[in-house]
Chains A and B, each alone.
Chain A
Amino acid sequence: MLEFDRVAKSFGDKHVLRELSLVVKPGELYGFCGANGAGKTTAMRIALGVLTADAGDVRWQGRPVDADSRRRFGYMPEERGLYAKMTPRDQLVFFAGLSGVAPATARRRADEWIERLGVVLGPKDTLEKLSLGNQQKVQLIASLIHDPDVLVLDEPFSGLDPVAVDAMADVLLEFARKGVPTLFSSHQLDLVERLCDRVGIIRDGALVAEGTVDQLRRSAGSGQLEIALSGAPDDWAASVPGVRVVAATGAKVTLEVEDGVPAQRILAAAQSMGRLEHFGRRDPALADIFRESVAGSAR
């Protein structure tokens, strides 16, 4: 279990993390969401020892993370960092070596991962000769090659084509199945929604929402209805009391229902206007919950 316990960090007068606490359980994919500058990268850098916290702890298996346990972490920084003039294979062996993997094992694993993720490269190609997508795959392999105990990935999906996104998602799911806790940040909320067991939304250095996507939806409130009618006037919904039209596309309207107004009453009103083709609750997308959560930012 990877735990952030009341982690605080300031740069000068700027409080970047304010007592951030979160837990990533074994085998869990934890989506870490937040606007730019909310503190995601700083939190991850502290977990990896690249920065030190002003207060609080990051713990792994109940003990504060130290240099030895960190070497068993897999880390993919937001700003990619690889040696441009080195071949991908050589640098993968180098990074694996820093985590204590013997060169022969590292070479074998590098070849396996290069093949599995479909990195396109010639035998003597240095990293700079690879496309950006392929470089990104190499960066992911660098974080996986030592078969890590924990994965901390900062925006691992940015810049990937859909096929590569699927390949990378498969890899993360495979590590999760092995029991590896994975913390990853992403602005691609559809992906987070699809992959993550739990999501944490950070604003101004503190979590403002956390839970499974379903829990977040429930807590966000499901006061919206989607109704499709045929044969009704275009503005039929405007005459229904207790609702507000949020969106209207073709025959389908999305309505915000006031508290205390029962759905049956709206159903009956709709049926009296035309032939009912669709009636249902509209679950908010993670993107809606995210917008709601980060709205009203202090800055």
Chain B
Amino acid sequence: MKYRKLKSVALVALSMTLFANSAQAETLRVGMECTYAPFNYRTADGELTGYDVDVAKGVSSLIGAEVEFVCQKYDGMIPALLANKFDLIVASMSITEKRRKKIDFSSPYRISVGRLVGKKNGNFNLFNADGSVNVDGFDGVKVGLERASTYENWFVAKVPDANILRYDNNEAMYLDLQNGRTDVIMTNPMKAFLKFLSKEDGAGYEFVSPAINETEYFGVGVGIGLRKGNDELLGRINTALKQLTNDGSLEKYALKIFPFAIHPDKWVDLNY
């Protein structure tokens, strides 16, 4: 039994090296949660769909590889990749220094941003025309955000005198926004859209800021993960992602779900 298992592992490893060397008839096994709507999840018909799924399909078709999805719990994602259960992680995984010690990442295909939500026609004057912060505009404006989130770090750095209300969870923050205890909230625009703005409760509210994506505070974003030492594959993935960014495919994938794009507006090269 043990021997057979060993043998199959050896076979997989062998086939992997073969595939990496020959670009044709290659199958890329992609790990994702399959339960993380709207990025990777199954529809009622059992079909895998979402932004991550579109990206994985887009990349593999440009590379000329078949794609095969493997569902894996998020907390075991990196160990499973390292154990060769699949070849790529396309699971909305943020690129962090800690993870980069274990695996390689492609350039980001989705960004981490923050955005302010407030009442429609609230006459906010929080940002200048060029998208920079208008510090004076925050006079007398109460800003709700989650305690110790990246948004708090950004806010304290940019508008030190802002009147910040710190919440322990999102629900309380949205309740207070609707009650009028806080004037604006800073949050993840994708969540804000899916859970609030697109719902009845959020009808009187809108984004009152541009997307704020300073990587110094919010990180570079979400990338495709792969085992270290696959530089050739990494190169091909990056080329494919660059093409998907430039030809508008990534925007198209996002617009299926959100009324805005969620990829970096400028091509980001991670320095390895």
Pairing of A with B: no
| A-to-B contact residues, CB < 8 Å | none
| B-to-A contact residues, CB < 8 Å | none
